[in-house]
Amino acid sequence: MIDSNNNVNMSHHNPNFTGTKEVVVEDEESPLLALPLLRNREEDEQGSGSKASVTGSVFNLSTTIIGAGIMALPAAIKVVGVGVGVVAIVFLAFLTHTSLEILLRFTRVAKASTYANLMGDAFGSSGTLLFHLSVLINNFGILVVYVIIIGDVLSGTSSSGVHHFGVLEGWFGQCWWTARTFVLLLTTLFVFAPLGFFKRIDSLRHTSALAVALAIVFLLITAGITFVKLLNGSIASPRLLPNITDVTSIWNLFTAVPVLVTAFVCHYNVHTIDNELGDPSLMQPVIRASLVLCSSIYILTALFGFLLFGESTLDDVLANFDTDLGIPYSSLLNDIVRISYALHLMLVFPVIFFSLRFNLDDLIFPSARPLDLDKCRFVLITTGLIALIYVAANFVPSIWDAFQFTGATATVCLGFIFPAAIALRDPHGIATKKDKILSIVMIFLAVFSNVVAIYSNADAMFRKHVDPHQ
């Protein structure tokens, strides 16, 4: 992660360190969390100046959490039932809080300024390399998928010889300026590029707040439609528990695990946000507020999405909003939902891109000065990455299948396996028995979700390949 104002990047970027500041105890259970991340001398010379706000940090962390995965939650609830699904979301929010608490506590003791530093402290250069590769795979895959989805929503997509019209095609018909390539080019030039050139993640606080607001817009519209249909009696009672009838139905339960496990992963941006906050005692309230906000949005979105479409809920609930909803102004509401979602992904893009750029730079130029101080390197890496993402999204749309394998694996590594492995290795002897038990649980869930995701995706691709009717 990069802190472009305070320049608290990787330790090898600036060897002049002044050590830690005075310890400020936040609470009795985790006093180490109040220790600041390691700051460098250049920061002290320049002064702390502009520091990130708590509200802005909450929105940036929440935007990191809420992405395209929110649209898969209603389908996950359909598989496991409302009761089990809600409990699972709450449990995983708790587990995410635990993993972040472990991450920050070990960071203070190791005097590390980044997640990569911490991995290096625990596992040496191989740990740092593994972390960088995981971030690159995870973030690049996520961003390409986001751009593909934006293209699908605005310009439509074709599947099995059938063309599904996008919003712009529905409004203006098929012409050159509603074509996917041109629409995504405009989006890249006028949205992704300007936002991608910010050097501080706190500079994105307003767009992150808008991204969260757009997710809430989707939630409110879905809730409104659901209440209208509840009043006219066209919605059946939801299942609280999974519907188990045979071995296949039991296996289907496991397919919801990867969606739920990866729902709260935001760990690769935590250090950046923490560094820009300036006051280390504020990071825990930021994390708690973000997890409560995102959990609430997740639960309500999953609940109302499943209530609205029932057993017809698709893997991406957004796809359900291209048909008649059975209420007045159905077409208008469908367009509002799809446009708000596309705009949401556009504003999530720069937050995910932020850590992608920094980790690529640190992997290629480990001994160079901080990226924000080298204008030429900053411009070249930013421009190159944005261009590469644009090309991949336009000309390799099947990349979605590839990143169902690589993205899911890298995501759970960043969110659960790496923090748990650090706690189990315990290089500074501070891990408690509770830390180690929860770490084992996190690793089990992560490995299990990976195996399920890879097997189910491979099985689906194999069936599609051998089935002559598809």
Asked if the structure places residue 111 within a domain, the reply is: yes
- Is residue 329 very low, low, confident or very high in pLDDT (cuts 50, 70, 90)? confident
What is the pLDDT confidence band of residue 465, given thresholds at 50, 70 and 90?
low
Q: What is the pLDDT of residue 373?
A: 86
Cα dihedral 398, 400, 405, 407 sign: positive
CA 63 to chain centre: 7
Range of the domain at 57: 50-466
The Cα 176–Cα 159 span in angstroms is 20
Mean pLDDT of 259-276: 90
The C-alpha atoms of residue 345 and residue 107 are separated, in whole angstroms, by 31
Number of separate domains in the chain: 1
Q: How far apart are the first and last CA of the chain?
A: 44
99 assigned to some structural domain: yes
pLDDT of residue 116: 93
Return the pLDDT at 168: 83
Q: What is the CATH number of the domain that holds 279?
A: 1.20.1740.10
More confident residue, 13 or 314: 314
Asked if residue 329 is part of any domain, the answer here is yes
- Going by pLDDT thresholds of 50, 70 and 90, the confidence category of residue 234 is confident
44 located within any domain:
no
Amino acid (one-letter) located at 242: P
| Residue 19 pLDDT exceeds 60 | no
Residue 81 falls inside a structural domain = yes
Do residues 338 and 155 lie in contact, with contact meaning Cβ atoms separated by under 8 Å? no
**Please, which pLDDT band fits residue 20 given cuts at 50, 70 and 90?**
very low
pLDDT per residue as tens digits for the range 138-175:
899 889 888 988 988 888 776 555 666 778 877 877 78
* Residue with token string 């961003």: 143
More confident residue, 372 or 191: 191
Q: Is residue 438 part of a domain?
A: yes
Instruction: Over range 255-264, report the average pLDDT.
Output: 82
**In-domain check, residue 33:** no
The answer to whether the CB of 180 falls within 8 A of the CB of 168 is no
- Cβ-based neighbour number of residue 311 at 10 Å: 9
Give the model's pLDDT for residue 17.
38
| pLDDT of 85 | 92
What pLDDT, on a 0 to 100 scale, did the predictor assign at position 224?
92
Greater confidence, 409 or 268?
Answer: 268
- Domain membership of residue 325 (yes or no) is yes
